């Protein structure tokens, strides 16, 4: 089994069995985990510039975890769906934000069970870090997304000193109680892949030195 397959298996097991460890980072008081907590909150702050209020929109937060970001989207959009592969995370999300009229549902990112051309905006924060096949996921996104619909994703940068450090030592998995990263891309790879899927890059920027934030439009 190669390194990518090993990391995917560890990541999948983590999200199915221990995802609460990651969701707790939003509120952790552990100084050792403080950089992770800061990163998660900085990511939300930076992403807010891509959010325009439209109560007629149906949006999907895929890989929603415990629903922290999903709950923010409800302030801006009419119908909000939070989706995750983990039963445990969906339970936590419903407990925390079930009173906000958000639809939380368990499904795979490659088989969302949503109708064709039904979604105006897809948010996928941290999802592409851990999935096995990026192409299959984007194919599903394009199926459910409306023409000129938007996608906002984050994905680890390559090269990145921090990423290489995490990859080689496994420190993220063994010490931080967070799953190992599966995917990382450089700018050229990202641009070529989006072009091949007929996804127009509206904006591309960095969060710290580790992560791409990519704002896309569906042009099929």
What tens digit of pLDDT does each residue of 85-110 get? Answer: 989 889 999 999 989 999 999 999 99
| Three-state secondary structure of the chain | CCHHHHHHHHHHHHHHHCCHHHHHHHCCCCHHHHHHHHHHHHHHHHHHHHCCCEEEEEEEEECCCCCHHHHHHCCCEEEEEEEECCHHHHHHHHHHHHHHCCEEEECECCECCCCCCCEEEEEECCHHHCCCCHHHHHHHHHHHEEEEEEEEEEEEECCCHHHHHHHHHCHHHHCCCCCCCCCCECHHHHHHHHHHCCEEEEEEEEECCCEEEEEEEECC
Q: Where are the domains of the chain?
A: 3-218
Please check the confidence at residue 125 and state whether its pLDDT lies above 50: yes
Among residues 40, 41, 113, 101, the alpha carbon closest in space to that of 73 is found at 101
Mean pLDDT is lowest, of 19-23, 84-88, 137-141, 178-182, for: 19-23
Note whether 155 and 101 are within 8 A (CB). no
How far apart CA 136 and CA 110 sit, in angstroms, is: 6
Note whether 22 and 65 are within 8 A (CB). yes
Report the relative pairing of strands 119-124 and 54-62 from DSSP bridges: parallel
How far apart CA 6 and CA 93 sit, in angstroms, is: 28
What pLDDT, on a 0 to 100 scale, did the predictor assign at position 42?
Answer: 81
% of the chain at pLDDT higher than 90: 55
With cut-offs at 50, 70 and 90, classify the pLDDT of residue 43. Answer: confident
With cut-offs at 50, 70 and 90, classify the pLDDT of residue 135. Answer: very high
Average pLDDT over residues 46-71: 94
What pLDDT, on a 0 to 100 scale, did the predictor assign at position 178?
Answer: 63
Please check the confidence at residue 48 and state whether its pLDDT lies above 80: yes
Average pLDDT over residues 26-38: 57
What pLDDT, on a 0 to 100 scale, did the predictor assign at position 2?
Answer: 41
Q: What is the pTM of this model?
A: 0.82
Token pair listed for 152: 């906002």
CATH fold of 3-218, please? Rossmann fold (3.40.50)
How far apart CA 11 and CA 5 sit, in angstroms, is: 10
Average pLDDT of the chain, as a whole number: 83
How far apart CA 104 and CA 97 sit, in angstroms, is: 9
Tell me how crowded residue 177 is: count the other CB atoms within 10 A of its CB: 17
């Amino acid at each position: 089994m190669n390194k990518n397959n090993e990391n995917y298996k560890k990541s999948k097991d983590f999200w199915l069995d221990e995802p609460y460890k990651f969701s707790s980072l939003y509120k952790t008081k552990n100084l050792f985990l403080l950089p992770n907590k800061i990163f998660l909150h900085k990511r939300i702050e930076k992403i807010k510039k891509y959010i325009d209020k439209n109560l007629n929109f149906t949006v999907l937060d895929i890989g929603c975890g415990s629903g922290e970001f999903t709950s923010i989207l409800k302030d801006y959009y009419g119908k909000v769906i939070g989706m995750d592969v983990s039963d445990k995370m969906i339970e936590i999300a419903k407990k925390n934000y079930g009173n906000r009229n958000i639809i939380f549902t368990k499904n795979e990112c490659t088989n969302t069970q949503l109708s064709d051309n039904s979604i105006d905006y897809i948010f996928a924060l941290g999802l592409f870090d851990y999935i096995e096949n990026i192409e299959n996921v984007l194919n599903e996104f394009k199926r459910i997304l409306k023409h000129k619909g938007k996608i906002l994703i984050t994905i680890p940068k390559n090269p990145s000193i921090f990423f290489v450090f995490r990859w080689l030592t496994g420190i993220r998995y063994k010490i931080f109680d967070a799953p190992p990263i599966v995917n990382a891309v450089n700018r050229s790879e990202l641009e070529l892949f989006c072009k091949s899927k007929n996804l127009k890059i509206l904006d591309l920027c960095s969060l710290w030195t580790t992560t791409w934030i990519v704002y896309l439009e569906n042009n099929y």
